[in-house]
Structure 1
Amino acid sequence: MPNHRTIEGDLFTAFVKAGAISKANADDPKKSALVRCARTDKGVHAAGNVISLKLIIEDPDIVEKINSHLSPQIRVWGIERTTGSFSAYQAVDSRWYEYLIPTYSLLPPHPNSYLGKKLVELSEEVGDREQYESRQEEVAHWWNEVDEKYIKPALEQLKPWVRELVEKALWESETDPEAPNEKTNEVAAEDAADMAQPVRVGGDTAPDPMHTDASEKTEEAAIIINEPGMTKAPEPAPTTVTEPMDTDATKPESATAGDDSVQTTNDTPIPSAEDDMPPTDPEKLSLSQKRAIEAAIKKIKGIYMDAKKAYRVPSKRVDRLRDALNAYVGTKNYHNYTVNKKFKDPSAKRLIKSFKAAEAPIIINGTEWISLKVHGQSFMMHQIRKMVGMAALIVRCGCPVERIAETFAEVDVAIPKVPGLGLLLERPVFDSYNAKAADKFQREKVEFTKYEQAMEEFKQREIYERIFREEEESNQFNQFFAHIDGYKEPFFLYLSSKGIKASTGPEVEKARDKSRGTKPKEFNGDSESDAEAGDG
């Protein structure tokens, strides 16, 4: 197999070039006991991380020299001498992660989508229609207003037969008609299906002392670093940041669908089919007819996307999101939030210390985003992305928050993971070690306090702007939720008023067997056996 670039590999090379690793040990990171504190899923960024290794640190300018051999996306913030037994992997007490999500992700499914229809149908079936509507009260008319003000005029420009086929394509397909290629049309956003890859460079095992240069004057050191997702950075584009806004739905800046603030950018005229007559067989369209329909679908989807970007989340909806996040606090069984974990596996239990939504969203290039921060002892593969996915689905589907507690029980629930694009490791925490290091061993604490300003600037420049830019270009969150809304199987119907039983039982198992191998990658593509391979 080819060698893939890793953060540890780039760092170790920089250490060698800066003279922090002797030539005798320069051929193998294990000789220097290189250990990484926290591993992340593929494509996930890290603003702050810690590695530990034996390092030559006599040069007072060693940090600057190391950074001179690194790309701008990787920075060493500082080096701290530690106790001889220190291991970044073993000494970490907890971790802080941040997830950035566009607030339009909290909009309910379109009433014409499969999930939108089933939510209403099942609420009536169990006599919960009134309560369901009360949970969607603040967004009850949003889709109708968008359809009436923006979509209806666009559809009226089309010939009746084109309009009929366009409307059918919009709501009867399980994939997103706007997706530009098969890759994004497959299941939702590409990142939603990424499998985490365990990092093995340097490893987490102790080095063989027989391979260490005994004459080398080294010290145990904690290296405080950042790390981006290992993807090539696109060319920078200007990013407009607006201060946090009041989110009361009654105020003008809340931008309901009826406001004039929705600026549709899809002004491309829809080409007319050369054949004015409707097709006798919709399955046998001429090339010009197909192009006319495809152009119309793209235009309608673009209008919907513009409306979503103009959406400003009401404070009541953010409060429901906070209630959902708070349901994770404490020690819970997260067997449904990772891969290949059974309910009775003790390692499925994890402690979440806090999970908070920012006080107010921010506006980036016209789209509203909200920051979610989770502090936990440790996380399993995909856990955070599935936690955020479940919380967002609870809100957007008008589902009782209590449904989250049911997922901790001995029942299998298919929880999709949101795109990895929005996730970053903010920092690991070493409280236990720091208490001993400061009081007993007179060592500096391993913490990020003195680097906070530089880290914030780095996050804005190298991480946040990249996240916002990639979403602007690819609409990953829209692709992700559009696929969930249109997936015509019962796997997500536990979000309805009928509860988990809507996604269980003989009928569901029959559907599950029928769709085996085609089930959404958001929860079926997790083929790795090691649920500890990556955090988040």
Structure 2
Amino acid sequence: MGWYEYLIPTHSFLPPHPSSWLGKKLVELADDMGDREGYEQRQEEVRDFWDEVEEKHIKPILEKLDESTKELVMKALYETEEADPEGEQTSGNEEAVKAAADIQQPVKVSNDIRPEDGAARDITEQATIIVQAPAADSNSVAKDEIQPVEEPTSDSVKPVLPSLPASSPKATDLAQKKALDAATKSLRSAYIAAKKAYRISPARTARVSAALAQYIGTRNYHNYTIQKPFRDASAKRVIKSFVVNPTPIVIGGTEWLSLKVHGQSFMMHQIRKMVGMAALVVRCGCPVSRIADTYEDAKIGIPKVPGLGLLLERPVFDSYNERQAEKFGKEKLDFGKYEKELEDFKQREIYERIFREEERDNSFHQFFTHVDNFKEPHFLFVSSKGIPATQNAGAGSGKGTGKFRRPKLDVESEDEGADVNEGG
């Protein structure tokens, strides 16, 4: 057995942007199922978040643009399609598509924990710590907290966007591309900054807690790993505890929650998919009881959240202590006596690395943005229609190719080998 900790930014529990593909489908299916009122009630504490962001932080940027650039940016934000699996864009506007790729970042997120000098070092190099607790009653965008976010490139984003020169067509096109690039970077920076300034409310945290509680007990986790059919007895695992620390932590302007799970043993990707499912349920205004549906026979693709936030906190040796210590008088293996040393090590060697890498890479922003903008029904099991909403997933791309578009999230990493334990 073992205790694992997963650290996740609280902005991961924000709803999809209303203009994203998933955001639109959630409302559409809620209306179709007569669940609009219930859906809005489950999103009550974040109802005004995106409206405030658009009004306070996005609108001022758009107002500085000339009409031609603004039109392209608006298409990039609200109208473009993703690239299809053959690499061809499905939108007719090349510049808008490029802008969409920059703002929305539907790129491949590498979520795999890569072994370096052994499993122990690998797992301990994936996590983070508690430094500062936020105000308990803050539940939306923290006022005066949104600061420009530095892009992970050498080019800084200029607050004033360049105007287009009236010269040759080529010079004009080049200037327009530069203006569009600057605008998209500014918008992307504003969206990321707004997310980082978000402070989760106690009501939202309670929903996270309620979702995690759905895992407690002996469950069939065939949907939470790879190559495990429903009737495989080894897909059943025991979760003794899965809790969220009700006091978030703030590092570098970003708020985080600590989730801790105690289980008998974990299969490949199980913890990351459990967190991924809980996050989708909360952020998409889905009843937490939907998690129980994932233990049934229906096969669905649950995305696994980035491996960055996962660490093995401590193994548990109950069986050894009972057999060796009590029967033969040997000393019990108890990590509790080293609590201070463990916390100091986590803060110094693990937590700070997690916060630093997330500040640099924005992995969670990229991950959930890709989920929100993947235009296939893979993730609609968290809509008001439930698992039946995914029944056409994999039937084809819908563009005449007859090919299945797989999300760039390793939803089902079939090439990763056989079942292994994430923890003992």
Corresponding residue of 2:121? 227
Letter of the 2:35 partner, please give it.
D
Q: For 1:241 and 1:428, how far apart are their aligned partners in 2?
A: 21
Corresponding residue of 1:190? 110
Q: For 1:227 and 1:240, how far apart are their aligned partners in 2?
A: 17
SS in 1 for 2:396: helix
Corresponding residue of 1:71? none
Matches within 5 A, 1:97-108: 97-108=4-15
Corresponding residue of 1:243? 132
1:231 Cα deviation (Å)?
A: 7.0
Query: Is residue 2:398 matched to residue 1:509?
Result: no
8 Å Cα contact 2:116-2:122 kept in structure 1: no
Corresponding residue of 1:531? 419
1:525 Cα deviation (Å)?
A: 3.1
Corresponding residue of 2:37? 130
8 Å Cα contact 2:141-2:199 kept in structure 1: no
Task: Name the % identity.
Answer: 52
Corresponding residue of 1:362? 249
Matches within 5 A, 1:15-414: 94-171=1-78, 172-174=80-82, 186-187=107-108, 189-191=109-111, 194=112, 227-229=121-123, 242-248=131-137, 254=138, 256-257=140-141, 259-265=143-149, 268-272=158-162, 274-275=164-165, 286-414=173-301
8 Å Cα contact 2:227-2:419 kept in structure 1: yes
> Compared with structure 1, are the counterparts of its residues 515 and 306 closer, same or farther at alpha carbon in structure 2 (3 Å cutoff)?
farther
SS in 2 for 1:510: coil
Q: For 2:297 and 2:44, how far apart are their aligned partners in 1?
A: 33
8 Å Cα contact 1:179-1:185 kept in structure 2: yes
Q: For residues 413-467 of structure 1, give each alpha carbon's deviation from its aligned partner in whole angstroms, at most 9, with x where no partner exists.
A: 1100000000000111111111222222221122312322111101000000000
> Compared with structure 1, are the counterparts of its residues 519 and 185 closer, same or farther at alpha carbon in structure 2 (3 Å cutoff)?
closer
8 Å Cα contact 1:418-1:480 kept in structure 2: yes
**Which moved further from structure 2: 306-315 or 524-533?**
524-533
Q: For residues 275-315 of structure 1, give each alpha carbon's deviation from its aligned partner in whole angstroms, at most 9, with x where no partner exists.
A: 559x9xxxx98232222111111111101111111110011
Corresponding residue of 1:484? 371
8 Å Cα contact 2:139-2:198 kept in structure 1: yes
> Compared with structure 1, are the counterparts of its residues 515 and 276 closer, same or farther at alpha carbon in structure 2 (3 Å cutoff)?
farther
Query: Is residue 2:359 matched to residue 1:452?
Result: no
1:165 Cα deviation (Å)?
A: 1.1
SS in 2 for 1:101: strand
1:145 Cα deviation (Å)?
A: 0.6
> Compared with structure 1, are the counterparts of its residues 349 and 477 closer, same or farther at alpha carbon in structure 2 (3 Å cutoff)?
same
Q: For 2:10 and 2:142, how far apart are their aligned partners in 1?
A: 18
Q: For 2:110 and 2:216, how far apart are their aligned partners in 1?
A: 29
Letter of the 1:127 partner, please give it.
G
What TM-score, normalized to structure 1? Answer: 0.69
Letter of the 1:190 partner, please give it.
S
> Which protein shows a greater Rg?
1
> Compared with structure 1, are the counterparts of its residues 418 and 177 closer, same or farther at alpha carbon in structure 2 (3 Å cutoff)?
farther
Letter of the 2:145 partner, please give it.
S
Tell me how large the CA RMSD over aligned residues is. 3.2
Letter of the 1:356 partner, please give it.
V
Q: For residues 6-27 of structure 1, give each alpha carbon's deviation from its aligned partner in whole angstroms, at most 9, with x where no partner exists.
A: xxxxxxxxxxxxxxxxxxxxxx
1:269 Cα deviation (Å)?
A: 3.2
1:179 Cα deviation (Å)?
A: 7.4
1:113 Cα deviation (Å)?
A: 0.5
Corresponding residue of 1:42? none
Flag structure 2 segments of 5+ consecutive residues without an equivalent. Answer: 84-97, 151-156
Q: For 1:524 and 1:164, how far apart are their aligned partners in 2?
A: 37
SS in 2 for 1:409: coil
8 Å Cα contact 2:141-2:194 kept in structure 1: yes
> Compared with structure 1, are the counterparts of its residues 370 and 338 closer, same or farther at alpha carbon in structure 2 (3 Å cutoff)?
same
Q: For 2:227 and 2:60, how far apart are their aligned partners in 1?
A: 49
Q: For residues 313-355 of structure 1, give each alpha carbon's deviation from its aligned partner in whole angstroms, at most 9, with x where no partner exists.
A: 0110110111100000000000000011100111100000010
Q: For 2:356 and 2:116, how far apart are their aligned partners in 1?
A: 27
SS in 1 for 2:227: coil
Q: For 2:18 and 2:391, how far apart are their aligned partners in 1?
A: 24
SS in 2 for 1:320: helix
SS in 2 for 1:501: helix
Q: For 1:431 and 1:456, how far apart are their aligned partners in 2?
A: 22
1:534 Cα deviation (Å)?
A: 4.1
1:270 Cα deviation (Å)?
A: 4.8
> Compared with structure 1, are the counterparts of its residues 230 and 260 closer, same or farther at alpha carbon in structure 2 (3 Å cutoff)?
closer
SS in 2 for 1:410: coil
> Compared with structure 1, are the counterparts of its residues 514 and 372 closer, same or farther at alpha carbon in structure 2 (3 Å cutoff)?
farther
Letter of the 2:395 partner, please give it.
E
> Compared with structure 1, are the counterparts of its residues 517 and 240 closer, same or farther at alpha carbon in structure 2 (3 Å cutoff)?
closer
Q: For 1:418 and 1:535, how far apart are their aligned partners in 2?
A: 17
8 Å Cα contact 2:123-2:312 kept in structure 1: no
When the two structures are aligned, how many residues end up with a matched partner?
Answer: 400
Letter of the 1:400 partner, please give it.
P
Q: For 2:276 and 2:19, how far apart are their aligned partners in 1?
A: 22
Q: For residues 374-411 of structure 1, give each alpha carbon's deviation from its aligned partner in whole angstroms, at most 9, with x where no partner exists.
A: 00000000000000000001000001111100000000
1:528 Cα deviation (Å)?
A: 2.2
1:511 Cα deviation (Å)?
A: 4.0
8 Å Cα contact 1:142-1:257 kept in structure 2: yes
Q: For 2:100 and 2:28, how far apart are their aligned partners in 1?
A: 27
Q: For residues 487-514 of structure 1, give each alpha carbon's deviation from its aligned partner in whole angstroms, at most 9, with x where no partner exists.
A: 0111111111111111014x76234994
Q: For 1:515 and 1:287, how far apart are their aligned partners in 2?
A: 36
Letter of the 1:269 partner, please give it.
P
SS in 2 for 1:522: coil
